[in-house]
A and B are shown apart, each in its own frame.
Chain A
Amino acid sequence: MTPAGPLVAVRDLTVRFPVRHGMVEAVRGVSFRVDRGQVVAIVGESGSGKSVTARSLAGLAGDGARVGAAELTFDGVDLREVRGRAWRALRGRRVGFVLQDALGSLDPLRRVGAEVAEPLRAHRIVPGRQVDAEVVRLLGEAGIPAPESRARQYPHQLSGGLRQRALIASALAARPDLLIADEPTTALDATVQRQVLALLRERVGDGTAVLLISHDLGVVAEIADHVYVMKDGLFVEDGPAAAVLESPSHPYTRTLVGAVAGHGRGARPAGSAEPRSAGTAREVLRAEGLVKRYTLPGRGEFTAVEDVSVTVGAGETLGVVGESGSGKTTLGRLLMGLLEPDAGRVLLDGRPWDGLRGAERRAARRGVQMIYQHPLSSFDPRYTARQILEEPLRADGTPREERDRRVASLLEHVGLAPDVLDRRARELSGGQRQRLAIARALAPAPQVIVCDEPVSALDAPIQAQVLDVLTDVQERLGVAYVFVSHDLGVIRRLSHRVVVMKDGRVVESGELEKVFDHPEHPYTKALIDAVPRFAWRSSGVSSGGSKRGASVTGA
């Protein structure tokens, strides 16, 4: 043991994967170090090789991966020499893992307590009799309320934030020296994200080192000491977090920072849609006193949406803010007429859904379209991009010659090249897929598009592009959006008016500036406070939308 040396030292790490013809080099020679009690972040877009780099430290680079390095040590142990059993002694015991998808990382058939107990038992951290008590202590330490009863529940009974905290408790159970956190907060809402970051920071105070993998610069700015920026398998820039984020020197870092700054603080880009007050635009969608309840087997009734009334004007964006479970998605489906409300009604263009039957109702459906968070699952896997775009046109009986013209103009609206048409959706990039989803939603010439977290699965620069497409399309075609998101930056950038939802109710609503700059409800205040503060806020880097000045974090 050499407490003085770095905990992790990596020099010239390369990771290659065999593909059908030869090898692909995912990591092309990176060097970094992690010291005890330090948070080191690797940032970059998905596919940049950041996850593979981190996983190589635990021998989990992947099937068939060839890992090479001039130096690869963990606490003085040469990881290049470690094989089989020896890895198991390291994993869990010395190196803990927290992954993005907590539901996928927890065994659905095991109680949360058993999951946390596993490393304790596997590495005999505490005597068998004390395992249960230790589990409860760990869960409590991770900020889980009522840890005794939570330990007896299954992962699906926990909210996303609680699951992520349980996973962190499990990763920290054996008191590892290094915690590898791969996008630990990406799936979480702002307030939960803040709690998870606080938990990580606390452990760093105890001497644990954290290797943070993220594409979210807000998170990185909040807790990282040192940042490496990764692109195409190489580090393009590194340095102390504040320095890199405040004055990025590499153009790629500037794009990353710019994209976040743009969506984090800019209001709607200047010149897009002159300010309109509610009521001046013609109303296209109105919901009155919507209520939707679900009966849960053995657990009584659950109210997803309680007395919600909203209106959307033509060409306007209504932002719907709230954490997961706040009823946002149910509201979206009610507005589309895909769900029947238990009380209240939805009017599209003055006509209520419940007055429409059969063919009339099917025709009216075309007036409200949807863009999903994961576009890939909203496309028939057998279809090419052309078939995807043609389908709504076939459905409304557009003649063949007309269809080709419409498809071409749809592609043009969303900035896709015609050569994507013969590819299947899974062969397209994340950004292209979401553009395709926007184009398809536009095909039936709807008045309203419900966007359900449309950019939350995308990297920051791509998010910015897709949001630009949405804004651009709205200006050109005058379509209205109901924009559902937990990301306040995104909501701020696109919305004219917002409603804030909590537990199925609207707790606050009004003009964007009013709600964001002068929140009245305590919950809205907490949400806005919880957005990670961008350390470089004062710097001049932004993507043009910052003239309105007001920052998300408020005064």
Chain B
Amino acid sequence: MPRSLWPWAAVLLVLAVMAAAPSLFTGIDPDAADLDAPLRPPSAEHWLGTDQNGRDLYARIVYGARPSLLIGTGAVLLALAAGVLIGVAAAQLGRVADQVLSRSLDVVMSVPGLLLVFLVVAVLGPGGGTAAIGLAVVSMPGFARVARGEVIRLRSAQYVEAAHGFGWSRAQVVARHVLPNAAGPVLALATVSLGAMIVASSSLSFVGLGPRPPTAEWGAMLSESREFLALAWWPAVFPGVAITVAVLAVTFVGQHLNRRVEGRHS
């Protein structure tokens, strides 16, 4: 990894630890309201100030890492799993299955993403899990298409043909040669999507379709800060910076990993 990426890798590590064990970073309860101290600017006592309910913003950002990052990550993992399954099925199960699955994907893709997420959340009820599912539904067709394309490309590869000649069954050939060699482009899409999904999950929370309050979530915190923007800048700026830094770190490190994978395959 080039030296210039080390800080971003460190940020990613810190964020991961923060999401896993927030109490290591702060002893303050993120939900403890101090109504006598609303909208206090950053100070020695409250490093990043307090919000309108007098809750410590630093603690809320630390505790907010988990829901904020988990929804996006979960959405990508769900989309990856479902997309690869559908894509491989479309490529392997014959023409009829391919037509049915591919046209269904087209239908999903033709519905505006935002509308689709609203629909899923409306049916399942708002919350972190449903937000992740909604985002996964929207991004799944992309994974399915890439996976299908890769499998079709590899299906006619000579080494796959040769493997059939050794007497492997079709499932064995897929597991031994097709999936591992298709992984590169699919994982590349996953790392690229992760940043976008984190932003998208924050946006959902911003409009109130994410985890229910009082859960600390960066997008929700941004949303709450809006009313008081004229009085206090810190409740808006710090969660915003947290989102930006997290997305940049995920993107830079992800791009680097992609280049590594590409280099290995070419």
CA distance A370 to B161 in the complex (A): 9
CB of B164 within 8 A of CB of A338, answer yes
Within the complex, the shortest CB–CB distance from A330 to chain B, in Å, comes to 13
Q: What residue of chain A has the Cβ atom nearest to residue B160's Cβ?
A: A380
Q: What residue of chain B has the Cβ atom nearest to residue A374's Cβ?
A: B158
CB of B181 within 8 A of CB of A395, answer no
Q: Which of chain B's residues 134-168 have a Cβ closer than 8 Å to chain A?
A: 157-159, 161-168
CB of B161 within 8 A of CB of A338, answer yes
> Which of A338, A372, A392 is B166 in contact with, Cβ under 8 Å?
A392
CB of A377 within 8 A of CB of B164, answer no
CB of B159 within 8 A of CB of A377, answer yes
> Which of B167, B177, B180, B265 is A366 in contact with, Cβ under 8 Å?
B167
CB of A380 within 8 A of CB of B167, answer no
CB of B158 within 8 A of CB of A377, answer yes
Residue numbers in B under 8 Å from A336 (CB-CB): 165
Instruction: Report the count of interface residues on A (CB-CB < 8 A).
Output: 25
Q: Which of B158, B159, B168, B181 has the most CB of A within 10 A?
A: B159
CB of B165 within 8 A of CB of A381, answer no
CA distance A379 to B159 in the complex (A): 5
Contact with B along A441-458 (1 / 0, CB 8 A): 001100000000000000
Instruction: Report the count of interface residues on B (CB-CB < 8 A).
Output: 18
Q: Which of B165, B168, B180 has the most CB of A within 10 A?
A: B165
Contact with B along A349-386 (1 / 0, CB 8 A): 00000000001001101101110101001111110000
Within the complex, the shortest CB–CB distance from A36 to chain B, in Å, comes to 43
Residue numbers in A under 8 Å from B157 (CB-CB): 377
Residue numbers in B under 8 Å from A378 (CB-CB): 158-159, 161-162
Within the complex, the shortest CB–CB distance from A351 to chain B, in Å, comes to 15
Given contacts A336-B165, A366-B167, A391-B166, contact A372 B158 (CB under 8 A): yes
CA distance A372 to B158 in the complex (A): 8
Judge if A396 is at the interface, Cβ distance under 8 Å.
Answer: yes
Residue numbers in B under 8 Å from A365 (CB-CB): 164-167
A-B pair number, CB within 8 angstroms: 60
Judge if B169 is at the interface, Cβ distance under 8 Å.
Answer: yes
Q: What residue of chain B has the Cβ atom nearest to residue A368's Cβ?
A: B165
CB of A362 within 8 A of CB of B169, answer yes
Within the complex, the shortest CB–CB distance from A119 to chain B, in Å, comes to 32
Q: Which of chain B's residues 53-87 have a Cβ closer than 8 Å to chain A?
A: none
CA distance A395 to B169 in the complex (A): 9
CA distance A234 to B168 in the complex (A): 49
> Which of A338, A380, A392, A444 is B159 in contact with, Cβ under 8 Å?
A380
CB of B166 within 8 A of CB of A395, answer yes
Residue numbers in A under 8 Å from B166 (CB-CB): 365-366, 391-392, 395-396, 443-444
Residue numbers in B under 8 Å from A359 (CB-CB): 169
Q: Which of A362, A370, A380, A381 has the most CB of B within 10 A?
A: A380
Q: What residue of chain A has the Cβ atom nearest to residue B157's Cβ?
A: A377
> Which of B158, B165, B176, B180 is A369 in contact with, Cβ under 8 Å?
B165
> Which of A363, A370, A382, A396 is B162 in contact with, Cβ under 8 Å?
A370
Given contacts A336-B165, A362-B169, contact A380 B177 (CB under 8 A): yes
Q: Which of B167, B169, B180 has the most CB of A within 10 A?
A: B167
Within the complex, the shortest CB–CB distance from A382 to chain B, in Å, comes to 6
CA distance A336 to B163 in the complex (A): 13
Within the complex, the shortest CB–CB distance from A341 to chain B, in Å, comes to 17
Residue numbers in B under 8 Å from A392 (CB-CB): 166-167
Residue numbers in B under 8 Å from A381 (CB-CB): 159, 181, 265
Residue numbers in A under 8 Å from B181 (CB-CB): 380-382
Within the complex, the shortest CB–CB distance from A93 to chain B, in Å, comes to 35
Given A380-B177, A395-B163, A443-B166, 9 other A-B residues pairs in contact with their CB atoms under 8 A: A338-B165, A365-B164, A368-B165, A370-B162, A380-B159, A380-B181, A392-B167, A396-B166, A440-B162
17 contacts between A and B (CB under 8 A): A338-B161, A338-B164, A362-B168, A365-B166, A366-B167, A372-B158, A372-B162, A379-B159, A380-B176, A380-B181, A381-B159, A382-B181, A391-B166, A395-B167, A395-B168, A440-B162, A444-B165
Residues on A close to B: CB < 8 A? 336, 338, 359, 362-363, 365-366, 368-370, 372, 374, 377-382, 391-392, 395-396, 440, 443-444
**Closest 5 pairs (CB-CB, A-B):** A395-B166, A378-B158, A392-B166, A362-B167, A380-B159
Residues on B close to A: CB < 8 A? 157-159, 161-169, 172, 176-177, 180-181, 265
